[in-house]
């Protein structure tokens, strides 16, 4: 396809291969830890229905909207992000989920051959967005404190880097949160070397343990910061947003005109009302955090119990995923078919590999299982991933 069209890369196909795999793992009877969806029973259907009803009293909720997003939504997002930053967040562009923010930023910032640095394991959506522009994508490893920022300087000294992408809180798939000292250092490097940081933060509000770390954007102006309503309200609103440098946001606005003209006035009106109703929102997000905490801790405890130090796990502090790396040589992709036969599924680490060998790793999503269901899933995992007779 690359040969014939030149417009698509291998990675786009790989993303699709993962989806095909996930489709298989969703067969009845399989306890799937392979997904990446918010818990459906926590989605606020009634509150959204009330907001929809209110929005639909005006025909403007059905009309075309402004390319940068409905003013009421931009206002509430601006207030939210300014609070997170401790300063004025500047201009906001609302996007069709934060995936569109990644895609438009890739188009705005990257020419073919430009270097984009991502975490390794990498967020698939970022890899797809960067590959579409035919940028050269380089992976830098993560550890428990997130991106190994110390490994950046030699890269930066070797060649010009245009963009560094980081999922700063509760990485997908890597689980880890970028430590504050690393955020400061990353920001210093951006100022020194003149690259752009894309801080991709859909999960930051889902912290249920430990303490909040300031956004990378708090430490430099060379940060385009992305977030989303998908994990705190609902994915189907397709409301993401970005803020940062005004000139870059101007380019993004023009590219968004060509990409889809504008977002939905209806779902943007709903999102604006729900984000502005902080009394309701705080309680709602607290409910999600409490449920995810219970599930994450149940999964983590069961895994520690079953695998002990054969499996190195990220700490369960927030977000939607645990990341595990087997220390005893167990390879995860080879075992997936067997696991599905045993009634459990996960995503093998190799699906997220940029250049590291992640054949011994796996991503586990804890959002959609009950604590008992998650414990049973681990029991099934242990029948497949533990050596016989342990």
- Choices 32-40, 153-161, 195-203, 305-313 (CB under 8 A): range interacting with a second copy: 32-40
Which of 85, 224 has the CB closer to a second copy? Answer: 224
Contact status: 258 vs a second copy (CB under 8 A): yes
Using DSSP, state whether 322 is helix, strand or coil.
Answer: strand
Q: Which of residues 281-340 bind a second copy (CB under 8 A)?
A: none
User: Pattern of binders to a second copy over 101-130, x per CB under 8 A?
Assistant: --x---xxxxx-------------x--xx-
Q: Which of residues 173-232 bind a second copy (CB under 8 A)?
A: 230
Contact status: 2 vs a second copy (CB under 8 A): no
The secondary structure of 114-176 as a DSSP string is -EEEEEES--HHHHHHHHHTT-EEEEEEEETTEE-GGGHHHHHHHS---EEEE--SS-TTT--
Applying CB under 8 A, which of residues 24, 56, 209, 286 lies at the interface with a second copy? 56
Applying CB under 8 A, which of residues 254, 287, 305, 327 lies at the interface with a second copy? 254
User: For 113, which DSSP code?
Assistant: T
Q: Give the nearest distance from C-beta 266 to a second copy in angstroms.
A: 4
Strands 361-365 and 321-326: antiparallel
Contact status: 40 vs a second copy (CB under 8 A): yes
User: For 1, which DSSP code?
Assistant: -
Applying CB under 8 A, which of residues 32, 168, 227, 265 lies at the interface with a second copy? 265
Which of 275, 378 has the CB closer to a second copy? Answer: 275
Applying CB under 8 A, which of residues 41, 159, 309, 372 lies at the interface with a second copy? 41
Tell me if 227 sits within 8 A of 240, measured CB to CB.
Answer: yes
DSSP run (H or E) holding 96:
strand 92-96
Contact status: 96 vs a second copy (CB under 8 A): yes
Cα gap 127→340, rounded to integer Å: 27
- Choices 10-18, 85-93, 201-209, 347-355 (CB under 8 A): range interacting with a second copy: 10-18
Contact status: 24 vs a second copy (CB under 8 A): no
Total residues binding a second copy (CB under 8 A):
70
Using DSSP, state whether 74 is helix, strand or coil.
Answer: helix
Q: Give the nearest distance from C-beta 95 to a second copy in angstroms.
A: 8
Q: Give the nearest distance from C-beta 256 to a second copy in angstroms.
A: 10
Compute the Cα dihedral for 204, 205, 210, 212 and give only its sign. positive
The secondary structure of 224-272 as a DSSP string is EEEEESTTTT-GGG-EEEEE--HHHHHHHHHHHHHHHS---HHHHHHHH
Burial zone of 241 (CB within 10 Å; 0-12 exposed, 13-18 middle, 19+ buried): buried
Cα gap 182→215, rounded to integer Å: 11
Give the phi and the psi of residue 362 in degrees, each rounded to 5: -155, 155
Which residue ranges make up the site for a second copy (CB under 8 A)?
1, 5-8, 12-13, 15-16, 19, 37-38, 40-41, 43-46, 48-49, 52-53, 56-65, 67, 96-97, 99-100, 103, 107-111, 125, 128-129, 131-133, 230, 234-238, 251, 253-255, 257-267
């Amino acid at each position: 396809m690359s040969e014939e069209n030149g417009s698509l890369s291998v990675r786009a196909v790989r993303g699709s291969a993962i989806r095909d795999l996930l489709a298989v793992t969703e067969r009845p009877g399989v306890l799937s830890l392979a997904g990446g969806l918010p818990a459906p029973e926590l989605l606020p259907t009634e509150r959204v229905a009330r907001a929809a009803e209110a929005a639909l009293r005006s025909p403007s909720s059905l009309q075309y909207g402004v390319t940068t997003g409905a003013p009421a939504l931009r206002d509430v997002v601006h207030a939210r992000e300014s609070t997170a930053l401790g300063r004025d967040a500047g201009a906001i562009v609302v996007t069709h989920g934060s995936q569109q923010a990644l895609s438009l930023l890739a188009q705005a910032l990257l020419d073919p051959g430009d270097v984009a640095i991502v975490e390794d394991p990498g967020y698939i959506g970022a890899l797809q967005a960067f590959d579409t522009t035919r940028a050269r994508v380089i992976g830098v490893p993560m550890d428990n404190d997130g991106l190994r920022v110390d490994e950046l300087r030699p890269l930066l000294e070797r060649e010009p880097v245009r963009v560094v992408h980081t999922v700063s809180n509760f990485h997908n798939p890597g689980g880890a949160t970028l430590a504050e000292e690393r955020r400061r250092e990353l920001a210093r490097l951006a100022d020194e070397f003149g690259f752009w940081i894309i801080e991709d933060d859909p999960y930051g509000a889902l912290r249920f343990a430990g303490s909040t770390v300031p956004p990378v954007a708090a430490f430099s102006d060379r940060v385009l910061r992305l977030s989303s309503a998908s994990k705190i309200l609902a994915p189907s609103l397709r409301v993401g947003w970005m803020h940062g440098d005004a000139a870059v946001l101007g380019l993004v606005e023009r590219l968004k005109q060509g990409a889809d003209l504008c977002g939905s006035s209806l779902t943007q009106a709903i999102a604006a009302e729900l984000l502005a109703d902080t009394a309701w929102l705080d309680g709602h997000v607290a409910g999600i955090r409490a449920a995810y905490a219970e599930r994450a801790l149940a999964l983590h405890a069961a895994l520690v119990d079953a695998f002990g130090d054969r499996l190195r796990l990220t700490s369960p502090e927030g977000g939607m995923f645990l990341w595990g790396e087997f220390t005893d040589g167990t390879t995860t992709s080879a075992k997936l078919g067997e696991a599905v036969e045993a009634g459990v599924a996960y995503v093998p680490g190799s699906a997220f590999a940029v250049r590291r060998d992640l054949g011994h790793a796996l991503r586990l999503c804890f959002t959609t299982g009950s604590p008992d269901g998650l414990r049973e899933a681990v029991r099934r995992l242990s029948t497949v991933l533990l050596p016989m007779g342990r």
